[in-house]
Amino acid sequence: MASIDQIIKQAVNPFDPVTFSTGNFWQEPEARSPTVDSIHQNIIMEIETFLDQVASDRYPRTLLLVGDSGSGKSYLLARLKRLLNPKAFFAYIHPWPDSNYIWRHILRYTVDSLMCAPEGQQESQLLLWLRGLSAFKNSSLSKKLQGDRKQFISNFKATYPSGVYNPSEFFKVLYHLTNPELFPLACEWLRGDELDEDDLKALGVKRSISTEDAAQKNLANLGRISAGTQPIVLCFDQLDNIPRLPDNYLDLQALFNVNTSIHNRYPSNFLVIISIVKNTWKHHGDRIQPADKVSGRINQELSLKPITLDEAEAIWASRLYPLHQQANSQPSSPIFPLTRQELEKNSPRSKTDPRNTLFLGSKLFQIYKENLVVNDNKFPSKSKQDTSSKKTPVSSPKPDYLAAFQLIWTYEFQKNEQNISRIGYFSSPELIRMLQETLDALNVENIQLQLLPSKTCSSYSLSFLHPRQQVKAGIVWTEDANLTKFCSQMKSCKQAITQNLCQTLHLIRAETLGTAKNKGYKLYKQIFSNSSHPHITPDLESVHYLATYHQLVNSTRSGELVVGDKTPDIKELRSLVRESKILEECSLLQDLGIVIGTKNGGGNGKVNYQQVNKFLLNHLQNQQYLGRQTLIQNACSQFPHMERSQVEQLIQQFCQENQIQIIDPNATPEEQLIALVP
């Protein structure tokens, strides 16, 4: 085994802001380092008490989780899910794109979360929920019911004689959850996807959940029936990116209307947790109708307080623990190479928050690491200080924000590739909202949502001033499989063109268009075939680009995105996107004529060497120095289709091109350090 100093020289900074990622706790990897249990432990205990009350009397409860940016709100939600998942089902609700679709949005993300498997479980929350119902507690009865749909539905109707909306169709869909072949289709119906006639027929139902009223009542069904098992915890997070009202205030009232409706039902086995930035609540809370804030609508406001220096020290120790475990002898301090004195010096009031603790740890670790490399290897310092004498102290170099941003992008993009397997994962209003944010980032002018005149289709559309054609262009993005719905959308497209609402109308759709016998298809041919109005078939990779930027916008507006040692605002994020030119690789934006780029062809399991090259150089720029084996291992982890030998070849190529250098080429590969050429 190596000494701790040798390990530090080779290692990635354990406080690297790239690891500060927040968001949907079902899409984040489980924490590998020990958790500091004392941090916000009182809040966790209070929330658990309220959860136990819901489980006991089946009345809903709502908690407001308030804290400054960087206080650990999103991380606390992830801890709650990890700790309390054995006694409740957890749903993470992203910011909604349109308040007119809020119930459908909540239903969609509740079902999506229920489709995820808790840690240590083989089955999804949804199947665990279903098997926990009274009809499934007797194994012999369970087998009998799974084989007889009529008996299954009859049994459920007897168990729930009232309080269930559209019980025949709802219980039919629950029945199909027990069939592995129809399980995905049943989930699509539950989440509110617009299914085609064949899929509806396969499920034995007449229609999809296509209205706010139906979505509200089907969500209530989940709460009503979960009273026989465990509560469902609805976690609302990153609310600074929800729709805004005409006066530019956030439309928080829409969420509190939902909350009041949940409280007006019994049994409604929900615990609602609303996570919100302290300043956001301060500036918007007074605009919520008083009746929606009274006791019983918000049961308690929980405030995240600053952490103690002992807790900050424990955060450092948890991040450094994996490095210490690799050393041939344990350092004298669990926070080596950091010191308590530095923590005290930078926290004059003996209080801090988790983010600043990580910021400071990153800076101090980088200084120590560079001192080791500069003085032990007599290698030039990245801080451009004089290093002619032995043991010259150096200061931490200024972060390269562009390299740090591109690393964050790569990390988030890879998560989306793993978690988003089809374009229909998002609703059409979400896709349009993500596209609008992307156009904003690229300085496209005169973007306006809701181009189509039909109220049922308007949220599927937007208009903008085309940057090259200099005409008002429109976009309609619909992925609804239901051809009746598609027909109404085509009618609205025709109206938009007839009324001259735009000069060019782009249809974005990957779903089927129907056949010549369908009215919607005939209208589609009239409008988008051999005309100035193009039809663009999007690819999944383009959706990954839009979703990645959307998640960064969510984090930025909530003050949670960290790039280098900064928390950028939305203008700075857009600037980084343009400077990195990362969106020029998006095929959809190329097809729309917004950007000019080359198709990178890195999808479908293929190796995109351009992206790997960028990752290697950005990773070195961000870390300053890295062990050769560490760099190879991280590249293979980030790009699973890469072989170690391929990464080795790229490193050799960079050396030949004098872009990187090996500090000690005579050392064994396990001991070699790599850095960018100054």
> Do 155 and 107 share a structural domain?
yes
Cα(419)–Cα(540) distance, integer angstroms: 12
pLDDT digits (tens, 9 = 90+) for 424-435: 999 999 999 999
Domain end: 255, 277, 299, which one?
Answer: 277
> Do 457 and 557 share a structural domain?
yes
pLDDT digits (tens, 9 = 90+) for 189-219: 999 999 999 999 999 999 999 999 999 999 9
Q: Please report the pLDDT score of residue 640 as a whole number.
A: 85
- Give a yes or no: residue 661 inside a domain: yes
> Do 464 and 364 share a structural domain?
no
- Give a yes or no: residue 259 inside a domain: yes
CATH for 661: 1.10.10.10
> Do 642 and 584 share a structural domain?
no
Nearest Cα neighbor of 235 from 73, 49, 127, 98 is 73
- Give a yes or no: residue 634 inside a domain: yes
- Give a yes or no: residue 639 inside a domain: yes
> Do 578 and 614 share a structural domain?
no
> Do 116 and 207 share a structural domain?
yes
> Do 639 and 578 share a structural domain?
no
Strands 535-536 and 660-662: unpaired
Q: Which domain holds residue 355?
A: 342-397
Residues 6+ apart with CB under 8 A from 512: 196, 481, 483
Cα distances from 190 to residues 91, 142, 423, in angstroms, run: 14, 22, 17
> Do 513 and 418 share a structural domain?
yes
Count of structural domains, the chain: 4
> Do 393 and 426 share a structural domain?
no
Nearest Cα neighbor of 236 from 92, 111, 54, 70 is 92
What long-range pairs does 645-651 form, CB within 8 A, spacing at least 24? Answer: 646/607, 647/612, 647/616, 650/609, 650/612, 650/613, 650/616, 651/616
> Do 560 and 627 share a structural domain?
no
> Do 418 and 391 share a structural domain?
no
- Give a yes or no: residue 286 inside a domain: no
Partners of 23 in beta bridges: none
Domain end: 368, 397, 426, which one?
Answer: 397
Q: What is the four-CA torsion angle of 233, 234, 238, 240, rounded to 10 degrees?
A: -140
143: phi then psi, degrees, rounded to nearest 5: -65, -40
Residues 6+ apart with CB under 8 A from 227: 58, 267, 269
- Give a yes or no: residue 333 inside a domain: no
Q: Within the chain, which residues score under 70 in pLDDT?
A: 1, 30-34, 134-147, 377-398, 599-607
Which structure tokens are listed for 466?
């085309």
Which structure tokens are listed for 476?
């309609």
- Measured distance between the N- and C-terminal CA atoms of the chain, rounded to whole angstroms: 31
Do 568 and 561 meet the contact criterion of CB atoms below 8 Å apart?
yes
Nearest Cα neighbor of 449 from 458, 462, 440 is 462
Confirm whether pTM is higher than 0.85. yes
Cα(641)–Cα(643) distance, integer angstroms: 7
Cα(602)–Cα(607) distance, integer angstroms: 6
- Give a yes or no: residue 114 inside a domain: yes
Alpha helices in 277-308 (DSSP H): 278-284
> Do 198 and 180 share a structural domain?
yes
Domain end: 277, 299, 332, which one?
Answer: 277
DSSP string, 139-204: HHHHHHHHH-HHHHHHHHHHH--SS-SSHHHHHHHHHHTTSTTTHHHHHHHHHT----HHHHHHHT
- Give a yes or no: residue 296 inside a domain: no
